[in-house]
Structure 1
Amino acid sequence: MTATAPREEQLWSRCAGCATLLYRKRLRRNLDVCPECGVHARLGAPDRVRQLVDPGSFQPLPDRLADLDPIDFVDVLPYPHRLTAARAGTGLTEAVLCGTAAMGGHPAVLAVMDFRFLGGSLGCAVGELITRAAERALDDRVPLVLVTASGGARMQEGALSLMQMATVSQAIAALREAGLLTVSVLTDPTYGGVAASFATNTDVVVAESGARMGFAGPRVIRQVTGRALPEGFQTADFLLRHGQVDMVVPRRSLRGRLVALLAAAQGGRRPVARPAVPRQQPAPPAGVGTVAQNPVDGPTSEPGSTDADPWATVRLARHPGRPTTLDYLEHAFDGFVELHGDRLGGDCPAVVGGVARLDGRSVMVIGHQKGHTTAELVARNFGMASPAGHRKALRLARLAARLGLPVITLVDTPGADPGVGAEEQGQAAAIAENILALTVLPTPVLAVITGEGGSGGALALAVADRVLMLEHAVYSVISPEGCAAILWPDRSAAPQAARALRLTAPDLHRLGVVDDIVPEPPGAAHADPEAVARTLRDAVLGALLPLLDVPAATLVRRRRQRFRRFGAARAGLRAGAR
């Protein structure tokens, strides 16, 4: 619906679907659904809560967190100015409203996102608030209902916003373990990091009529593929036809469906023992000039020079001569036996994996595979994994856990496959399931960012006990070109965006996203692939050996601690230390 006056002062609204001029009070009585064509207007979080919960039952959870700008991000406006404007325009503290409530008399915890607040983007504060909501549901032993409306992770907080996908996912995993129902309600729009994490890894996924959901947005898909999109692409009915949601529900029926789900969860619940893993509070930060502590093997080394231009580092990370996963398997590992297929109908060439030997020990190695020539890059889809690739990786990781093998992942991808076919096959849900499953995998997991670490496609293989990063690799919530296209006047600002995103190894080491930096030979990895393979082998062994004797339950607990610390309090403390 479109109008010029503030929403609360409007007398008339024009439907965005059929252009009918509608009396505002009539529209509100119809829950902001056009009575002529059925188009569902977007709702702010307070309106959504009023429509769903029993009158007077909503009790907001505390949402006052320290203001933070963890990477000092500036595009055409400083990030704090954007936050101030969003708060003034919405009356909200952040892009999510959380609280306890009842629906049909059944207790639940709600986390309702608001697209008006910076596009409902997932940042450290939003991740922290949703995680606290999930922890409150666990404490109260009641279901968690998530209402999503988001364009994805918040670029202005760099890789720390990417980490929130894992932080919230492991909170969902704890509710699964406790036998508590989780429900997500997809509203228009739900994309990116939110779609590829908690929006699709709940027990039940409900789509409101007219909602759109996907990992990549339509504009990106059209730009990448050069193809027109199918009729109704990524809409609720499209998602239902492709098996990605449990139901599509018009707004007028949404409360009733949620009440029925909560009633079923309450009626069928039996006493379940609380998880053995205790809830962890964010750990204290390691400030600049201190030594970051690892929970297993003590301090890591402080990185060297940070003088390199980030845009130059991006170009080195993308160099076609840079060693690939298969190159490392040839020179750093022994006896590699490749395993193929996701067992559901596909074998993605952008992901390779199988058993290998490392210093006489059997390991499972999984990695993105690009190539060096144009033909190889095209055949491997430039290292961009399809849903089949993510499901193959997960199948091999679970096999490793059953066999008692540690998992080593080599991450080098510009991002997940953004094609039409990938969306039809459930790209967002495939990434979400990988992230959730790796948070609880009962075997050591070690990730190495070897080239490009692009967004959720990288994180799908990088939820690990230890994360290493090659000296000239990059790891980011979005590509510099993509960030520039959204926040700057044009894509030519990509070098500025690269600097603002803090995507280099030294930056990410200071932020605690990576544990150690693997040096490269003079001229970078492509100048001497065999030398960097030897260095990587030694670094992997040094990081992996202390993990091998740690009990599985302790590994999982520490892995959860690692990602829980990326909440708003942690990020704010790190920013203050810098």
Structure 2
Amino acid sequence: MTAPVLQHQPEVDVDGGTPAWLVCDGCRRMIYGRRFARGGHVCPECGWHARLTAAQRVDLLLDEGSAEIVATPVTAADPLDFVDTRPYADRLRAARASTGMPEAVLVARGTIEGCPVVTAVMDFRFLGGSLGAAVGEAITGACEIALRERTPLLLVTASGGARMQEGALSLMQMAKTAQAIGQLDEAGILTVSLITDPTFGGVAASFATLTDVIIAEPGARLGFAGARVIEQTIRETLPPGFQTAEFLLEHGVVDLISPRPALRPTLARLLGVATRRPTSTPAATMPAAAPGRDVVREPGLLVQRHPWEAVRLARRLGRPSALDYIGALVEDWTELHGDRAAADCPAMVAGLGRLDGTPVVVIGTQKGHTAAELSARAYGMPSPGGYRKAARVMRLAAKLGLPVITLIDTAGAHPGIEAEENGQAVAIAQNLRLMAGLPVPVVAVVTGEGGSGGALALAVADRVLMCANAIYSVISPEGCAAILWKDPAAGPDAAAALRVDARALLTAGIVDGVIPEPDGGADVDPLGAADALRAALTSTLAELIPLDPPTLVSGRRARFRRFGTPTTPTPTTPITAPPATAPSVPAARPPMGGHRSTADLDEARRSS
């Protein structure tokens, strides 16, 4: 699969610049040249994105007048005295003459909508943007500038892979640039890749895909091996759109696809949130709402009703979903996709934004309101990829020092063959461990159903809240009834026995507070429900944000350590040695489980 090439017509504008008319090789239509240039070299008919030079990229992305080009080293030597059909030294001279660039990457400081950034932009015209020693040195140098100045790094990639003419020296640049990105991770500095067409080989397998956020232009191709090589190796026909941005978004590799005109605002939102620039009064400095109004902490203040009624209220399709709450509460929202391994779970949403001016990470399970939405979102039951996506974004929150908010409404983790094959239990377990040690504030809110370990995987938090009509349980009432009552219709009895409602859970200390809902439920007044959630979150974050990481982590671990701990010390029976003259007689072993017969034991096993 080769990239389309824009066909330039001979007729040229009177100013001698942009051709008056072009033919797009994507749709084969005639395009007016000036319209094409004004649109960022994007076909207005089919949306095909033409390749840009490094200088054009800098002009497109950075604020006018802000760009400061950084000198980068030039590799003049030919380390292998390499010759194929022509000497490597001749190829370098020709590339420099035709592009006007010393090498295949341009490094610059600047701003994007006022946000400082260091950027390294690759140019495919220079020997296919291949990764040689000079390119590796320039990318590493850009990382070191970002590290020294504590400024986010933006990498714009365009490459066919490693530069073969430099042999193993080129291969070493992959490790060199990867460790430079790793140093930015350790320092808590945001890194972003913009994938343009094409990005392959050693670049794809190093710095291009190691960043915190991977953005791709529409149709951009990214992969380790090229499609032609893969087809020749495996002797199979590749699926349509293989290795394109759209294919990779579906398979969890890239975070989002951004058309060229939307790139600057998208990058500005990310940079603004990640660098924690407040846009209004931060939540930490806001006065907490009056106790008992934002979060109810006394069970006696809650309405007492049968738990089965709470189950029915929690499951109403009209209740606000995670995306509904995010749309009402979170500004500058940028959703991130994919687990960077194989999948993008639609039942799990995650991203960055601002809550009343405070930068936050929000993660939630997403159901929907219609049959089509429920089906598309897997009924809000995350796959292993969903939990791994959540974990990836939580690690990003820890790196950037951003509070984490989780919104939970799920019957549980997705059951099925594929989920088990992909390690559902492992993904949940790893989230439990990860959340227990996150060095940032974590607030979990059960907004609807909190089902089993699938919900707990997002609820190991400093504060666990739930909405007044939500439920939280080890198993669904129907599932419990089917197992223990042998009758799914006994769900109401199971709900009462499990005590799944907010009042019972607050009494037991499982949740720390309950968020009031509008009369009739959150689905009757979604905006009122969102306002109540906002008040609860801002007041809770105001308590947590001032705490240092060790205090947060120790407090969170202590919270979960106490569950099931005896309230009074358990007396111990001292062990005494038998008399020296007493014969050694084996102690009588009681029947297993206290049952007196094998028949009783078998019946107990069947019952459980």
TM-score computed with the length of structure 2 as normaliser: 0.45
- Structure whose alpha-carbon radius of gyration is higher: 2
Higher relative contact order (CA 8 A, sep 6+): 1
